[in-house]
Copies of this chain bind each other. A is one copy, B any other.
């Protein structure tokens, strides 16, 4: 594989990362280093060009560096774990609402046969569509620009659900109806108050509830001075998992 016009490239200099599309006129300057379209075209990933490394972006790079966002996204550290906890596979149907900029859907759709997604805000709906189209993602996602409460969905239809809205409570009754018995329910909530409220609402209609948070701690990569970075992300949200009880 060689880099061609129109490709996206992950360009790295001294640990700083840039995700750029290789289009006419492309040029990136960092400090006193410059890299241009013609430097990259025809070169292979992993080559060092003018002190920059040029690589193919992974899904994480695309989400963190390439996705446009108007709101807090679900971070890969959380969505990568959630994707598997949802029990997704080729033959499963996932329900998701509160799609936002589409970052979590882009992850879940990789593991899942079909995703039915709902986003009530038109600006978010368009943004998610744009992000996915730009990076050729989510061909198995059916996204609708409506409130999930207005969605016409069968009962006992979905194998799993991911809810990413400020207050999941008004949606819980309908969610319960449309997912299969024993299906995995998941939500991500920033505050302890929201977690307490959701836990109260899950009692009864849901069982096997779990709450956790995921922390990633990065290290400086000097082999002779190995030590954690000075700072880290201390919080994104609390992950809540449960199963539909019948």
Chain A interface residues (CB < 8 Å from chain B): 1, 12, 44-48, 53, 55-56, 58-60, 76-77, 80-81, 83-87, 89, 107, 110-111, 180-184, 190-193, 195-197, 199-200, 203, 207-235, 238, 243-246
Contacts and interface: CB of A to CB of B under 8 A. Distances in A.
A225 B58 CA distance: 32
B230 A233 contact: yes
Given A81-B81, A199-B221, 13 more contacts: A53-B207, A55-B208, A55-B243, A56-B87, A58-B184, A80-B84, A191-B225, A191-B226, A196-B226, A210-B221, A214-B217, A218-B234, A231-B232
Nearest to A45: B182
A199 B222 contact: yes
Contact of A60 (B44, B48, B84, B183): B84
Nearest to A212: B218
A41 to B, nearest CB: 15
Contacts of A48: 207, 245
A55 to B, nearest CB: 5
Nearest to A189: B227
Copies in the complex: 4
A140 to B, nearest CB: 11
Nearest to A72: B230
A215 to B, nearest CB: 4
A103 to B, nearest CB: 12
A230 B231 CA distance: 11
22 contacts: A46-B207, A46-B243, A47-B181, A47-B245, A48-B245, A55-B243, A56-B87, A58-B86, A58-B184, A192-B227, A203-B223, A210-B218, A211-B218, A211-B219, A211-B226, A212-B216, A214-B215, A215-B215, A217-B234, A218-B234, A231-B231, A231-B233
A204 to B, nearest CB: 11
